[in-house]
Amino acid sequence: MPSSGYRLRDVEHHPLLTENDNYDSSSSSSSEADVADRVWFIRDGCGMICAVVTWLLVVYADFVVTFVMLLPSRDFWYSAVNGVVFNCLAVLALSSHLRTMLTDPGAVPKGNATKEYMESLQLKPGEVIYKCPKCCCIKPERAHHCSICKRCIRKMDHHCPWVNNCVGEKNQRFFVLFTMYIALASVHALVLCGLQFVACVRGQWTECSGFSPPVTVILLIFLCLEGLLFFTFTAVMFGTQIHSICNDETEIERLKSEKPTWERRLRWEGMKSVFGGPPSLLWMNPFVGFRFRRLQTRPRKGGPEFSV
């Protein structure tokens, strides 16, 4: 569009959408309040299975800790304190998982590459903008297209099937909390398993559990394996996420060795931008900003996500 004085870069050289194109422009012009009322969810089979498996494994761990190890114990305070701590970690982990999965990671409005929108940007002559040929949107800086979400995501770090969503600008905080609480719960479960094995061996497997010795051994061994796998995975992910935040560099940008064209927010500035505000206990709270939304189905075009 040389007459407008700016240039549109498009890898596949797709033209801008016109009024006659098959695109409902009213869907991209919805108000911010309307967008905020939607619950984001990706209808991906693999992601939904992984999310359900994650919940089942956490519920299994809670069952073994509560009914196999703590309730049969004769020490009331040992059972009460450890039960409260572990269940709190489990609730916080699952709440963080839900917030990560049901929060819009920073999706760019689909199909906003129209002439009207281009004119509203008031671009300077010679300024270069980028259009995604897959979802027909104007790509902001640091946005990348997700082939599973079918959308361009601002500051996309990666797509995680275990939370059935992309980790991006708006939900990275909840993903970090999810990995942290799962890692802490895994360590707690491993410690309790070790103490339970010692207690059962000393008591010759009598009255150390409400289940038979073979069943108790199988349940504890499986929980130990689960705890080791979960701790290893989430601890590594937590470390890489904190490193990325402190260096203001997403995993995609690091893998592609993209040179930063933005002003980096290093260390605490990066943490503040992700978690919001100065350091406080609110950083650890996955319920911050949560509010119940009215359940109302809304049809969407051309994408696997739906809103309620």
From the list 137, 160, 193, 200, the catalytic residue is 160
204-251 pLDDT, tens digit per residue, is 777 778 788 889 899 999 999 999 999 999 999 999 999 999 888 888
116-158 pLDDT, tens digit per residue, is 777 777 777 766 777 888 888 888 888 889 989 988 999 999 9
Residue 161 pLDDT class (50, 70, 90 cuts): very high
pLDDT at 12: 37
DSSP element (H, E) containing 165 = strand 165-167
pLDDT at 293: 58
User: Residue ranges of the domains in the chain?
Assistant: 40-106+160-284
Contact between 137 and 113 (Cβ < 8 Å): yes
Q: Residue 15 pLDDT > 90, yes or no?
A: no
DSSP secondary structure code for residue 147 in this structure? T
pLDDT at 13: 37
**Catalytic status, residue 160:** yes
Overall average pLDDT of the 7-18 stretch: 43
pLDDT at 295: 42
Q: Please count the CA atoms within 13 angstroms of the CA of 278 that sit on its side-chain side.
A: 0
pLDDT at 187: 97
Overall average pLDDT of the 280-307 stretch: 63
Residue 180 pLDDT class (50, 70, 90 cuts): very high
Q: Which residue has the higher pLDDT, 213 or 58?
A: 58
Give the gyration radius of the chain's Cα atoms: 24
Alpha carbon distance 123, 150 (integer Å)? 27
Overall average pLDDT of the 87-116 stretch: 90
pLDDT at 240: 94
pTM equals 0.82
The per-residue pLDDT of the chain, averaged, comes to 81
Residue in this structure with the two tokens 């359900």, named with its chain if needed: 52
